[in-house]
């Protein structure tokens, strides 16, 4: 065993020299065969050495790839936000692939386009400005086909190439483009380029594909995190709305809170709630968090009209991708001024009945996801319950107020009767009772309107209409033709002030009939309503007989006018003037009440 080892390790032994000398002779067949076998062994050894070297290089390359991917992973994990992560990745990818430039495009689903979102420092100025359709250019082709493309030289000659001067395309010879794919969905494309011709190796393609997988995974995780965060916020909003329902909030306050929370949580440009005016069959905006004057002052919509009207009439959710570009939306000019693009209209329903609609607008064109619409429908259901709850609260408050007001109104009637007994000069008991009856009817008109509207305020226009109708039926004597009309903008007053205003209107209209048309058989009474930022103005005009010369309200012995003056100055904190019309025949009564 020892001799065998020595015979192999001693290169200059006599035996080896004799063996070498023998191998040089070609006359011995055994020696020739041995020589061939040795040559074959040498060739196999050389191939093994080449294979070992190749394997060593591949291992080093893979070790380098693993190290590069680790560095990319660290960069992706340490970046503070989405944009920063892409920027860092572009810089590192260019270095570790040994290329001169790197760009990352992301796919925008809403626009169906690829947008440049990150680049090395040489091209940071064009980030966000380069857009490509799917299939457009080499980058668009890679995104559409979801396959990498390698062009070693003269990339601009490739038939798929699209030239962008701002990308300095003419300075770069080669291009390698790899798709960013996750779960079969295209997220974007990552490109690297070199200024000199370059044949991209399988290792470089594999490395860039690995980087693409890292980036795609990071983007997907980021998006999922944002979705979860948004979902959690939406659930919080649902909880807050539910709590608001159980709180003692009036309708206007509740709706304002609702649209504000919804817009903030769902990141919408404008949120509004419009309720149905049953009499007019219109949608009236009741709450919005928007400060856009163009939007808040837009006209009411008829049910079935435009997007929100359609949602109400069909009792279903209606969405429009771009309200500025569709005939379905009635006010595209207002949408443009308000800066809104997409809309989702969700009917507010309770027990199968539509109460109104929730409109949600986005600043940019937006596709409302199914999950998003489910959340909005849940919010709308909560809002509908809140509206019903608030109305019940108002009714309850009205009933309590009624108990209080009935007592006060009865006391008011008693006081009026005592005044009639003390100061009036009626010719008959019937006349006195008719006056008292008319005043009681004026008070009852207010309470009837309050119950009908389900609100804690009363429409003065409707009050005036009721008083004029009652006057025609019970005050105007047979044989006289006194026409009545109302002009101007409606306004509302709280219950107490509305009652006083009803008594004022009743006295002024009745006074016009009894004194203005005492000697005339026909004429006209017109009530004009005016509203501005500071005051409400009610004017009662008649074209009957004028006031006597030197007339003053203070100097008259009219009980009705004394009641008017007392109510206006006391209960309404306003002013009252009665005078002859300056530019027409007849008398004008002016009541001004501060807002």
* 45-57 pLDDT tens trace: 777 777 776 766 5
Domain containing residue 378: CATH number:
3.30.450.40
Question: What residues make up the domain containing 320?
Answer: 247-392
- What's the whole-number mean pLDDT along residues 115-120? 90
Query: What pLDDT band is residue 69 in, cutting at 50, 70 and 90?
Result: low
What is the pLDDT, as a whole number, of residue 166?
A: 87
Do 258 and 217 lie in one domain? The reply is no
Contact 517, 544 (CB under 8 A): yes
Domain boundary among 341, 369, 392: 392
Reported confidence tier of residue 554, pLDDT bands at 50, 70, 90? confident
49 and 108 share a domain? Answer: no
Q: Evaluate whether residue 408 is within a structural domain.
A: no
- Nearest-angstrom CA–CA distance, 391 and 394: 5
Q: Is the pLDDT reported for residue 427 higher than 60? A: no
Higher confidence at residue 449 or residue 434? 434
Question: Among 198, 227, 256, where does a domain finish?
Answer: 227
Domain boundary among 372, 392, 412: 392
Q: How many domains does the chain have?
A: 4
Task: Check: CB of residue 356 under 8 Å from CB of residue 312.
Answer: yes
Q: Identify each DSSP E strand in 289-341 by its residue range.
A: 301-302, 318-320
381 in a structural domain: yes
Task: Please tell me whether residues 336 and 463 are part of one structural domain.
Answer: no
387 in the same domain as 270? yes
Q: How far apart are CA 8 and CA 24, in angstroms?
A: 20
Q: State whether 480 and 584 are in the same domain.
A: yes
Let me know if residue 405 belongs to a domain.
no
Ranges 91-95, 210-214, 392-396: which has the least confidence: 392-396
User: Which pTM value belongs to this model?
Assistant: 0.47
* Co-location of 350 and 481 in the same domain: no
CATH number at residue 534: 3.30.565.10
| Domain membership flag for residue 311 | yes
Q: Burial, 570: exposed, middle or buried (Cβ in 10 Å; 0-12, 13-18, 19+)?
A: exposed
474 and 582 inside one domain: yes
Mark whether 298 and 440 lie in a shared domain.
no
**Taking 80 as the threshold, does the pLDDT of residue 414 lie above it?**
no
Rounded CA separation 394/396 (Å)? 5
Q: pLDDT band at residue 11, thresholds of 50, 70 and 90?
A: very low
| Residue 424 pLDDT > 70 | no
Same-domain check for residues 442 and 515: yes
pLDDT in tens, 252-286: 888 888 888 888 878 899 999 999 988 889 998 88
Residues 309 and 385 in one domain: yes
Look over the chain and give the mean of its residue pLDDT values, rounded to a whole number.
80
User: Among positive and negative, which fits the CA dihedral 153, 159, 161, 163?
Assistant: positive
């Amino acid at each position: 065993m020892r001799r065998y080892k020595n015979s192999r390790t001693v290169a200059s032994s006599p035996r080896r020299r004799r063996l070498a000398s023998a191998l040089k002779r070609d006359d011995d067949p055994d020696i020739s065969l041995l020589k061939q076998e040795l040559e074959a062994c040498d060739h196999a050894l050389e191939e093994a050495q080449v294979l070992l070297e190749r394997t060593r290089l591949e291992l080093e390359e893979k070790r380098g790839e693993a190290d590069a991917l680790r560095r990319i992973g660290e960069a992706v994990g340490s970046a503070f936000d989405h944009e920063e992560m892409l920027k860092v990745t572009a810089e590192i990818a260019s270095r570790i692939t040994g290329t001169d430039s790197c760009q990352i495009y992301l796919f925008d689903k809403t626009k169906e386009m690829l947008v440049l979102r990150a680049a090395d420092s040489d091209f940071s100025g064009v980030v966000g400005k380069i857009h490509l359709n799917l299939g457009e250019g080499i980058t668009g082709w890679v995104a559409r086909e979801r396959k990498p493309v390698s062009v070693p030289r003269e990339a601009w000659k490739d038939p798929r190439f699209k030239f962008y001067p701002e990308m300095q395309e003419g300075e770069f010879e080669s291009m390698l483009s790899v798709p960013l794919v996750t779960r079969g969905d295209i997220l974007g494309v990552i490109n690297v380029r070199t200024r000199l011709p370059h044949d991209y190796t399988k290792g470089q393609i594999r490395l860039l594909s690995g980087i693409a997988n890292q980036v795609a995974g990071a983007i997907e995780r980021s998006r999922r995190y944002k979705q979860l965060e948004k979902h959690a916020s939406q659930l919080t909003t649902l909880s807050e709305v539910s709590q608001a329902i159980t709180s003692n909030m009036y309708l206007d306050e509740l709706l304002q809170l609702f649209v504000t929370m919804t817009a903030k949580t769902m990141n919408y440009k404008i949120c509004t709630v419009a309720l149905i005016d049953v009499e007019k069959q219109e949608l009236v905006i009741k709450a919005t968090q928007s400060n856009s004057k163009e939007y808040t002052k837009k006209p009411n919509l008829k049910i079935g009209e435009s997007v929100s009207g359609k949602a109400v009439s069909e009792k279903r959710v209606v969405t429009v991708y771009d309200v500025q570009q569709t005939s379905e939306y009635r006010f595209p000019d207002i949408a443009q001024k308000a800066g809104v693009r997409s809309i989702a209209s969700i009917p507010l329903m309770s027990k199968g009945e539509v109460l109104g609609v929730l409109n949600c607008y986005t600043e940019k064109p937006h596709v409302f996801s199914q999950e998003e619409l489910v959340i909005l429908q849940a919010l709308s259901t909560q809002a509908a319950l809140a509206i019903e709850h608030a109305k019940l609260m108002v009714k309850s408050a009205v009933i309590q107020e009624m108990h209080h007001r009935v007592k006060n109104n009865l006391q008011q009637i008693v006081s009026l009767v005592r005044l009639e007994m003390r100061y009036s000069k009626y010719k008959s008991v019937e006349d006195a009772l008719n006056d008292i009856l008319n005043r009681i009817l004026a008070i009852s008109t207010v309470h009837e309107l309050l119950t009908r509207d389900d609100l804690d305020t009363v429409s003065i226009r409707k009050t005036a209409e009721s008083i004029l109708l009652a006057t025609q039926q019970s005050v105007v004597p047979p044989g006289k033709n006194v026409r009545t009309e109302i002009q101007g903008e409606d306004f509302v007053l709280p219950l107490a002030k509305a009652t006083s205003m009803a008594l004022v209107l009743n006295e002024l209209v009745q006074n016009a009939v009894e004194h203005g048309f005492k000697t005339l058989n026909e004429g006209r009474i017109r009530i004009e309503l005016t509203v501005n930022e500071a005051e409400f103005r009610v004017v009662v005009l008649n074209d009957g007989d004028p006031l006597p010369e030197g007339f003053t309200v203070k100097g008259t012995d009219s009980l009705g006018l004394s009641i008017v003056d007392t109510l206006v100055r006391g209960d309404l904190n306003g002013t009252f003037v009665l005078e002859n019309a300056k530019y027409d025949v007849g008398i004008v009564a002016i009541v001004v009440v501060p807002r």
